[in-house]
Amino acid sequence: MEAREGARRVALSGSKVHTVLAVLLLARGRVVGDSRLSSLLWGWDPPATMNAQIYTYISRLRKHLGSDVELVRRQPGYQLLAEGSHVDMVEFERLDRLGRGALEERRFPEAGELLRRALDLWQGPALSNVTPHLAEAELPRLEESRMSALERRIEADLALARHQRLVPELTGLVGEFPVRERLRAQLMTALYRCGRQAEALRAFHEGRDVLAEELGVDPGTDLTDTYQAVLTGELSRLPQPARLPTSAPYASPYSAPYASPSAPVMLPPDTADFTGRENQFTELCARLAPPPADRRSAFRPRRLLITGMAGVGKTALAVRVAHAVAAEFPDGLLYARLHHEDGTVKDSCAVLAQLLRALGDPSAGLPAPDGSPLQLDELIRRYRTRTAGRRLLILLDDAANELQLDALLPGTSDAAVLVTSRSRLSAVPGSRTVALDPMDRKESLALLAAIAGNARLAVEPEAARTVTEVCAGLPLALRIAGTRLASRPLWPAARLARRLADPATRLGELRVGELDVRRRLDAALRQLPAPELELLRTLVRRGAEPFAATSAALLLGLPETAAEEFLERLVEVSLLEMTGIDSAGEPRYRLHALVRLVVRAGREQRTDRPFTRAS
């Protein structure tokens, strides 16, 4: 408790003077009776001269606080009027109230900033130089206000996908406040989103033991719900917090959707053990942020395209970004896959009908009044009418070409569009492209460790390096390898490394459940016209080293210009990587190791077909 005039600290001596000032400030302009002041100064045993002493303390305050503060006698006590002064507690409560409102309205960046400013006003423990009677009466309420604001600020940070940086802070807070269940649930959430499921579960068990030993109670609903979600892997399926009710500081962050009850939320679940892609994630989130109010009239549509080869993690990144920025799109989060499971392209009419139904048009998939199917133009008209003026995020996954995508773009800049595609789709107007390359060795090891476990790989570093090398930086392959190790705890990693090191068995090993490297890459290869697929099968004969168009032309028996055009088409659909320009000024190209392996396997299968016989 202190007073300042500008940068100068006002000299107030003694805990009782500080107590009187604190009591009057906490009253916020209301009259504080003599009996109330007495009980907070001396408890149940006031001196006989208490009124005289209170008057002395009031006189000292009048002398030191100056003319901006009016301290007057109002029966049955005193009143402090400080309209021209800045009171930290009043400012804290104002910022906390604004931050709470922003959190309830899903404006997470603003909420986090307001709550941070509120918490920065706390400079050490509150009421540290007052009587124990006042501290006992007021400190629990003040501390609860601070902790609730802190928990709300953490909710905002969790909603902004800042779980990595939150883990150290939350670990310290849980150690300091071990029976505060909301903080422990937030720590579990942050750990789980970092791919540290086992540590999240351990945090719950430690909390349960602490609650039983210190309070003799079981964990509450919030903590047990978070535990069940972590245990079953359903935490990532739940939307991030949209609302933390003011009447329930310990409410679950998963009790409300991102948007209003009528707004569609169609996003797939986020990937709990997502690893890497930090620069791309930051760029995409920044580009999806809404414009300042004074620039909205000239704002261009937000159309972002994530490209890369099959299995490189385009969808995982897009979904993660969409969850992170969801608060900016209160009118809904739409999602549509633009290919069928077998790799065939979805009809634009069917996709539009799906999106329109989500936007509240139940007749979108029904025939026209004359019994004929609704035409594409009519569906586009309805779609652009429904999306106009609405702050939507539309995630279009695995787009085939510009023609398909053009029908699905909204007509105004209110809605943002995030697209993933193996093709570069350079003709989409106003779009910005983020290209994903295979992961480097460090990112590959981090992803493998996030799935299989750090401890597992630490004892077999050579095997871990072998696995990452043969997966060639492809997140899909790394995920499959990590999942196989995680599901076989008794297997040494070297066993899987040996199987993957053999090209003859590698593709068979890179399959688990619905995840299959060969099937995913085959689907991409099937999009090539038959003549180009045959040329690609010829091209894989030349080995793994980067090559120029001139050497490819010789191998393919094509003119150099035709060979270069063919190679550029492969680059456009992410089946070939351009590695740079050589000293002669020619582009250099390289086939990804797993693409080369799948193409070669397909060619050998074709060669073997004449020798197969029916039994």
Cα separation of 273 and 510, whole Å?
Answer: 19
Which residues, listed in sequence order, are joined to residue 334 by a DSSP beta bridge? 394
Same fold for the pair 162-239 and 528-611: no
pLDDT at 223 over 80: yes
Q: What is the mean pLDDT of residues 287-316?
A: 74
Q: Which residue reads 């779009």 in tokens?
A: 431
Which comes out higher in pLDDT, residue 402 or 8?
A: 402
In tens, the pLDDT along 106-150 reads 888 999 999 999 999 887 777 777 888 888 878 888 888 899 999
pLDDT at residue 153 in the model: 94
User: Which class for 585: exposed (0-12), middle (13-18), buried (19 or more C-beta within 10 A)?
Assistant: exposed
In tens, the pLDDT along 381-434 reads 888 888 887 889 999 999 988 888 888 988 877 789 999 999 888 766 667 889
Q: How confident is the model at residue 8 (pLDDT cuts 50, 70, 90)?
A: low
DSSP string of 161-205, one letter each residue: T-HHHHHHHHHHHHHHSTT-HHHHHHHHHHHHHTT-HHHHHHHHH
Which comes out higher in pLDDT, residue 524 or 607?
A: 524
Domain 162-239 sits in CATH 1.10.645.10: no
In tens, the pLDDT along 62-105 reads 877 766 678 888 888 888 887 656 677 888 888 999 999 999 88
How far are the Cα atoms of 28, 310, 524, 567 from residue 532, in angstroms, in the given order? 79, 18, 13, 10
Name the residue type at position 221: T
pLDDT at residue 166 in the model: 93
Q: Which residue reads 């006002």 in tokens?
A: 10
pLDDT at residue 609 in the model: 43
pLDDT at residue 291 in the model: 59
- Homologous superfamily of domain range 278-435: P-loop containing nucleotide triphosphate hydrolases (3.40.50.300)
Which pTM does this prediction carry? 0.56
Which residues, listed in sequence order, are joined to residue 395 by a DSSP beta bridge? 335, 418
Which comes out higher in pLDDT, residue 367 or 564?
A: 564
Half-sphere exposure of 613 (CA within 13 A, CB side): 1
Token output for 515:
């995840």
Q: How far apart are the first and last CA of the chain?
A: 92
Averaged pLDDT score across all residues of the chain: 81
pLDDT at 613 over 80: no
**Per-domain residue ranges for the chain?**
4-86, 162-239, 278-435, 441-520, 528-611
pLDDT at 296 over 50: no
Which residues, listed in sequence order, are joined to residue 547 by a DSSP beta bridge? 589
Q: Which class does domain 528-611 fall in?
A: mainly alpha
Q: How confident is the model at residue 240 (pLDDT cuts 50, 70, 90)?
A: very low
Cα separation of 195 and 197, whole Å?
Answer: 6
pLDDT at residue 614 in the model: 33
Q: How confident is the model at residue 218 (pLDDT cuts 50, 70, 90)?
A: confident
pLDDT at residue 301 in the model: 64
Residue 131 has φ and ψ, to the nearest 5°, of: -70, 155
Q: How confident is the model at residue 293 (pLDDT cuts 50, 70, 90)?
A: very low
Mapping DSSP onto H, E and C, the string for 118-133 reads HHHCCCCCCCCCCCHH
Q: How confident is the model at residue 2 (pLDDT cuts 50, 70, 90)?
A: low
In tens, the pLDDT along 456-475 reads 888 888 999 999 999 999 99
How far are the Cα atoms of 3, 110, 299, 336 from residue 396, in angstroms, in the given order? 57, 28, 22, 5
Cα separation of 245 and 268, whole Å?
Answer: 26
Token output for 93:
């409560």
pLDDT at 559 over 90: no
Q: How confident is the model at residue 368 (pLDDT cuts 50, 70, 90)?
A: low
Q: Which residue reads 């009016």 in tokens?
A: 70
In tens, the pLDDT along 320-361 reads 999 888 888 888 899 999 988 777 888 888 899 889 888 877
In tens, the pLDDT along 241-281 reads 433 333 333 222 222 333 344 578 888 888 878 888 888 98
Name the residue type at position 571: V
Token output for 299:
């704002």
Token output for 291:
């414009």
Architecture of the domain made up of 4-86: Orthogonal Bundle (1.10)
Q: What is the mean pLDDT of residues 196-217?
A: 88
Percent of the chain with pLDDT over 70: 85
